[in-house]
């Protein structure tokens, strides 16, 4: 067995070090042992025994970090498990994912958090950072023991899938969160305006005869939570922004010093409500795909940093559930294995720079999570959580996926850009485009 890996001639994109240059990198004993910009054949004579990997034409980046993954375990193992979901993550170039709390039982106590951590360690595909629920049972009535979960490593709390709609309770959660220096992630959606919704409310929903959820249902919670964050000084994170108005409010709040971060999904960057004309339930997501003007605003917000991170909202559902009538099918799509290609589409179109793409997929989400082991800088001594991808590889997304589910609107779509190798703590989880296990 080789003593480490020598990645030769890759284009290192390392936003944490503001670096974009051709390098050769030696990985050994779980860490980056050396980074050599000259690409010389022999890094100080240290490479003896390392397996050389030709990375000509490939991008080397810090491993991706997903702030928003539904791993479904415990309780939803027919749709995804921690093992299958993290394997899908590795294939997507991820070395860390933040696992949402809406499992069965809900991750609203330390025992469930510890169970997810143990399953992730057994699987060994990437680090999993469990999200703790804000309210017990996601019921929106009483706060969880945030401190107990924080002492088990929880950095982000969220009732995702549900909005914490009670303003008084959200204020209390924000005040409580400050004691533990954790982040509250909100699924912004006013429930009173989104009963029985099927898609974005607008001309297309009227045409298709489907009940709509207006952008305002998201925007009023974004607005409210920005005010509560101003009031409390808490750190808030806005999940899966979908509307132009939300982007504008977050941009304004940041300029006024409110401690807010935000994410956007690959599917909201790619698709619009117009894609629902065939009633394909893979396009039914929560929040819904909105108008082209909204998609444009999301891309601009991502490019200028108003939206900090790309997060997949990877939401596996069983085929028999997605094959139901449109109004009966659950919302959500998987995303870990196609996220990079969706973001690179914007790079290929000249809408996003490659360093900004890597920053939004890795560096910034790692900082939001509060981990120094992901997101770079890629330098000697750093934990070797790395992704190598071919930005120009053409492929078509087709099932089967590593995910146990196949509810993806990207199926059949021509994509450009794919992960070639993923190194998790110095060990390849994906090699030559294939999962190692």
Chain residues 220-239 in contact with Zn ion, contact rule CB under 5 A = 239
Residue choice 87, 155, 187, 367 for contact with Zn ion (CB under 5 A): 187
What Cα–Cα distance (Å) separates residue 222 from each residue in 156, 191, 297, 301? 18, 13, 16, 15
The least distance separating Zn ion from the CB of residue 158, rounded to whole angstroms, comes to 8
Beta bridge partners of 435: 430
160 binds Zn ion (CB under 5 A): yes
Contact 7, 53 (CB under 8 A): yes
Residue 20 burial by Cβ neighbours in a 10 Å radius (0-12, 13-18, 19+): middle
273 binds Zn ion (CB under 5 A): no
79 or 187, CB closer to Zn ion? 187
13 or 333, CB closer to Zn ion? 333
The phi-psi region of residue 144 (left if phi > 0; otherwise alpha if psi is between -120 and 50; otherwise beta) is: beta
Chain residues 378-397 in contact with Zn ion, contact rule CB under 5 A = none
- In the chain, the largest separation of any two C-alpha atoms, in whole Å, equals 69
The least distance separating Zn ion from the CB of residue 330, rounded to whole angstroms, comes to 12
Size of the site for Zn ion (CB under 5 A): 3
Sketch the per residue contact string, 113 through 142, with Zn ion: x for CB under 5 A, - otherwise. Answer: ------------------------------
The least distance separating Zn ion from the CB of residue 162, rounded to whole angstroms, comes to 8
- For CA atoms 100, 106, 109, 114, give the dihedral sign: negative
What Cα–Cα distance (Å) separates residue 286 from each residue in 160, 223, 276, 293? 10, 19, 14, 18
317 binds Zn ion (CB under 5 A): no
The least distance separating Zn ion from the CB of residue 155, rounded to whole angstroms, comes to 18
Which of the stretches 17-25, 56-64, 183-191, 349-357 binds Zn ion when contact is defined by CB under 5 A? 183-191
The least distance separating Zn ion from the CB of residue 246, rounded to whole angstroms, comes to 13
Cα–Cα–Cα angle for 145, 148, 151, rounded to 5 degrees: 145
Placement of tokens 């284009």 in the chain: 11
290 or 356, CB closer to Zn ion? 290
Q: Which of 108, 159, 273, 313 is catalytic?
A: 313
The least distance separating Zn ion from the CB of residue 68, rounded to whole angstroms, comes to 7
Distance CA(260)–CA(234), nearest Å, equals: 9
Q: Quick one: tokens of 333?
A: 């799509």
Q: What are phi and psi of 235, to 5 degrees?
A: -95, 120
If DSSP codes are grouped into helix, strand and coil, which group holds residue 234?
coil
Which of the stretches 155-163, 330-338, 377-385, 399-407 binds Zn ion when contact is defined by CB under 5 A? 155-163
Residue with nearest beta carbon to Zn ion: 187
Catalytic site residue 308?
no
162 or 351, CB closer to Zn ion? 162
Question: Which among 390, 422, 371 is positioned nearest to 153, based on CA atoms?
Answer: 371
| Active site members | 313
* Contact set with Zn ion (CB under 5 A): 160, 187, 239
């Amino acid at each position: 067995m080789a003593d480490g890996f020598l990645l030769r001639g890759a284009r290192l994109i390392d936003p944490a070090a503001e670096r974009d240059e051709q390098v050769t990198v030696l990985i050994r004993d779980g860490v980056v042992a050396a980074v050599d910009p000259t690409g010389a054949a022999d890094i100080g004579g240290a490479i003896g025994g390392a397996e050389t990997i030709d990375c000509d034409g490939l991008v080397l980046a810090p491993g991706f970090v997903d702030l928003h993954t539904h791993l479904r375990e415990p309780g939803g193992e027919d749709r995804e498990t921690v093992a299958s979901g993290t394997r899908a993550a590795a294939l997507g170039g991820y070395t860390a994912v933040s696992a949402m709390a809406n499992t069965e039982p809900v991750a609203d106590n330390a025992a469930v958090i510890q169970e997810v951590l143990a399953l992730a360690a057994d699987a060994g595909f990437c680090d999993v950072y469990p999200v703790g629920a804000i309210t017990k049972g996601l019921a929106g009535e009483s706060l969880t023991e945030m401190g107990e979960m924080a002492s088990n490593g929880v950095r982000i709390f969220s009732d995702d899938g549900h909005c914490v709609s009670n303003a008084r309770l959200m204020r209390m959660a924000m005040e409580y969160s400050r004691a533990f220096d954790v982040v509250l992630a909100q699924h912004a959606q006013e429930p009173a305006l989104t009963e029985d919704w099927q898609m974005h409310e607008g001309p297309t929903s009227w045409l298709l005869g489907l009940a709509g959820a207006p952008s305002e249902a998201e925007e009023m919670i974004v607005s409210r939570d920005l005010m509560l964050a101003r009031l409390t000084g808490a750190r808030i994170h806005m999940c899966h922004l979908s509307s132009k108005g939300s982007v504008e409010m977050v941009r304004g709040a940041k300029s006024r010093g409110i401690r807010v971060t935000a994410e956007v999904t690959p599917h909201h960057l790619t698709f619009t409500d117009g894609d629902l004309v065939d009633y394909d339930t893979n396009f039914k997501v929560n929040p819904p795909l909105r108008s082209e003007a909204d998609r444009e605003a999301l891309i601009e917000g991502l490019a200028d940093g108003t939206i900090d991170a790309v997060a997949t909202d990877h939401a596996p559902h069983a085929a028999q559930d997605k094959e139901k009538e449109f109004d009966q099918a659950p919302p959500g799509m998987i995303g870990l294995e196609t996220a990079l290609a969706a973001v690179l589409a914007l790079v290929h179109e000249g809408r996003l720079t490659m360093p900004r793409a890597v920053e939004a997929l890795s560096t910034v989400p790692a900082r939001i999570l509060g981990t120094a082991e992901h997101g770079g800088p890629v330098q000697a001594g750093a934990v070797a959580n790395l992704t190598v991808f071919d930005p120009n590889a053409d492929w078509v997304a087709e099932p089967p996926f590593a995910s146990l589910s196949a509810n993806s609107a990207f199926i059949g779509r021509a994509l450009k850009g794919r992960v070639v190798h993923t190194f998790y703590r110095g060990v390849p989880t994906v090699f030559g485009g294939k999962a190692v296990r």
